[in-house]
Chain A
Amino acid sequence: MNLPTITLVTFGFFEQDFLEQIARVVQIEFDYPVNLREGRIDLGEFYDPARRQYNGNSILKFVDSMSFPDSIKTLGIFNVDLFIPILTYIFGQAFLKGNSGIASIYRLNNERYGLPANSELLLDRSKKEVIHELGHTFGLIHCENPICVMHSSTYLEDVDQKKMQLCHHCHEKLSEFGKNTNQVKE
């Protein structure tokens, strides 16, 4: 049997180096090999013309329906403005203790806020969002520690304030979930 993996599926154009750097930190944080894949869908199906945004709930369900051999968690990476019906926007969302999540870099880009482009900052923010949503799929809830990557962040300032890693407390919880996951697989 092959080792279980985490799959990052991209929808839209992303630099290969950008994705590989994200994959590297994900692998370090969760200790699973990471596969990068390209997804192909017509995002128009998820577009809400009234809000001029993409429905995060429907997209998450679509990603959840994708299956990849040996993949225990799948995360879709997008570059479109996501919303859920009750909120004006989201950076990403995931099924808690589920198999999948989504994250968008659309609102992580400085240029959206009239600031000069900063590719390093965008990469850092993207890594944090991807790890955050994957953390939820492993069963981690929002952490009160403001520098933990699982801290809830509704503004970019919150994202910038936190680190790219799980705090000690969340790491311990992740190890417990990891053990359970392995036990199931065996």
Chain B
Amino acid sequence: MAKKISILIVDDEESVRDSLFNWFIEDGYRVECAEHAKKALTLLESDQFDIILADIKMPGMDGLEMLRRIKSINAEAIVIIMTAFATVDTAVKALKDGAYDYVTKPFDPDDLTHLIRNATKQIALEDENDNLKKKVNILENVEDLIGNSEAMKDLFREVESVAQTSASVIISGESGTGKELVARAIHANSTRRFFPFVSVHCGALTESLLESELFGHEKGAFTGAMYNRKGRFEMADSGSIFLDEIATISSKMQIELLRVLESKTFVRVGGNKEISSDFRVICATNKDLKGMVQKGTFREDLYYRLNVVNIHIPPLRDRISDIPLLVDYFINKYCTSMNKPPASIDASALKRLQEFNYPGNIRELENMIERAIVVGDGKRITLKDLPLEKTIVNNSTESLDDFEKAFIQQILQKYSWNISRAAKALKVDRVTLYHKIRKYDLKPLDQ
């Protein structure tokens, strides 16, 4: 429902206040009146008004002085100045001081209606804009990065403090830990958030393609360059550029990149005009960059230029307490995208997920949940919906006995405790399998 617009009328003439009061009240606005500027300012301390209609000539503080004071308290306030003695000078002065509009008394009823209608439209647009900005922030901040563990809380704190600066960042972590999401969160929390976030996967491009991708090219620079093309650095002007898999770039590109980072200027491939761009660099890698510097495969000067801040994302196996939260998030995400009612997960299935090693980290967990929702009954995710058989599960497996126990349990689960089929798969006879079940006290997990 649209909010009720409130109007404050400030005029020393009672008849003017009454007239405007009656006029606006019939339009359904909330209306208050003040006979002088001092009273208006007192009212504004305790109440909020969307539109303030103020006479310019009042005893004591005049309308222009009041306008300046209102603007110092609330720069967004919509103040309309009214006067019976119109001069160009005062009109210009009022508008320069931030008045929304300036009208001469008496005005046509239609002018007044249009004036207020335009002001209410502006208020509605500003409100809508604020709400959308909030929604964008919520999307970036809350929905993408999930975790309640101490490691993740530390990460959130780091992201928040780094976002406030324009320093270069290297995000390190194993594949699938969410390095790009962290980069997006840094961008979304920074003052650059309303400008582009440009992502480049350096590992996927050859040296010449990467060069053209980053710096752009001029028409005819090489075979197939039919048009002028902006590079990613140019596109990221005022925003952030995310260079994924930075460790894969060639030594030539390392030199080029260093030069761009130092001067924030570059030339398009085949061009001769220097272009400048104000971007923030966020890099990601799953390699040991420092080790590469020691081995001489990554330039030391570039490493220090990029590594102003280093954020490390822990692998999923080091923060298993986040798994239930992540599982819930992915179930909701995929049930919503597949138009299915929200599913639940069996305790035994969740327990198994928490025991898994996750070499592919969160990406692997996400794929498992997506698959379980596709192949499952859509109501409840059970052990048999999870593709865990191929990997020897428990990362706490230390002895050969533990290994054997886990493997037999896994095969039994796979064949739904059909002893003959499980024995056949294990290439042992049924008696041996019964013996092992007794030895390890094995039981069906989902019972």
Residues of A within 8 A of B (CB): 55, 57, 83-90, 93-96, 136, 141-142, 152, 154-155
A154/B109 contact (C-beta < 8 A), A84-B19, A85-B15 known: yes
B109, A141: Cβ atoms closer than 8 Å? no
A87/B26 contact (C-beta < 8 A), A57-B15, A57-B18 known: no
Q: Which B residues are in CB contact (< 8 Å) with A152? A: 26-27, 113
Q: Report, nearest first, the 7 A-B pairs whose CB atoms are least far apart.
A: A84-B19, A141-B28, A154-B109, A154-B110, A85-B15, A86-B19, A142-B27
B20, A141: Cβ atoms closer than 8 Å? no
B106, A86: Cβ atoms closer than 8 Å? yes
Can you offer 6 A-B residue contacts whose CB atoms are under 8 A?
A85-B15, A85-B19, A87-B23, A87-B109, A94-B26, A96-B26
Residue of B nearest to A143 (CB): B28
Q: Which B residues are in CB contact (< 8 Å) with A154? A: 108-110, 113
Q: Please, what's the 1-or-0 string for B103-123, where 1 marks a CB less than 8 Å from any CB in chain A? A: 001111110110000000000
CA distance in complex: A154, B18 (Å): 19
A90/B109 contact (C-beta < 8 A), A84-B23, A141-B27, A141-B28 known: yes
Q: How far is the CB of B382 from chain A (nearest CB, A)?
A: 53
Name the contact of B16 in the complex, choosing from A85, A88, A155 (C-beta under 8 A).
A85
CA distance in complex: A106, B265 (Å): 72
Q: How far is the CB of B118 from chain A (nearest CB, A)?
A: 15
A87, B108: Cβ atoms closer than 8 Å? yes
**Tally of B interface residues using CB under 8 Å:** 21
Name the contact of A87 in the complex, choosing from B25, B28, B107 (C-beta under 8 A).
B107
A83, B106: Cβ atoms closer than 8 Å? yes
CA distance in complex: A124, B28 (Å): 26
Q: How far is the CB of B430 from chain A (nearest CB, A)?
A: 79
B191 at the interface (CB under 8 A from A): no
Residue of A nearest to B9 (CB): A86
B19, A57: Cβ atoms closer than 8 Å? yes
A136/B26 contact (C-beta < 8 A), A57-B15, A85-B16, A87-B19 known: yes
Q: Which A residues are in CB contact (< 8 Å) with B82? A: 86
Residue of B nearest to A150 (CB): B26
Residue of A nearest to B103 (CB): A86
A96/B23 contact (C-beta < 8 A), A86-B107, A88-B108, A154-B113 known: no
CA distance in complex: A76, B365 (Å): 78
B256 at the interface (CB under 8 A from A): no
Q: Which B residues are in CB contact (< 8 Å) with A57? A: 15, 18-19, 22
A142/B28 contact (C-beta < 8 A), A85-B13, A85-B15, A86-B19 known: yes
- Candidate in A84, A89, A94 with the most chain B CB atoms within 10 angstroms: A84
Q: Which A residues are in CB contact (< 8 Å) with B25? A: 96, 141
A93, B110: Cβ atoms closer than 8 Å? no
Q: How far is the CB of B104 from chain A (nearest CB, A)?
A: 11
Q: How far is the CB of A76 from chain B (nearest CB, A)?
A: 15
CA distance in complex: A85, B18 (Å): 9
Q: Which B residues are in CB contact (< 8 Å) with A96? A: 22, 25-26
Q: Which A residues are in CB contact (< 8 Å) with B18? A: 57
A155, B27: Cβ atoms closer than 8 Å? no
Q: How far is the CB of A28 from chain B (nearest CB, A)?
A: 23
A86, B20: Cβ atoms closer than 8 Å? yes
B108, A142: Cβ atoms closer than 8 Å? no
A141, B26: Cβ atoms closer than 8 Å? yes
Q: Please, what's the 1-or-0 string for B90-114, where 1 marks a CB less than 8 Å from any CB in chain A? A: 0000000000000001111110110
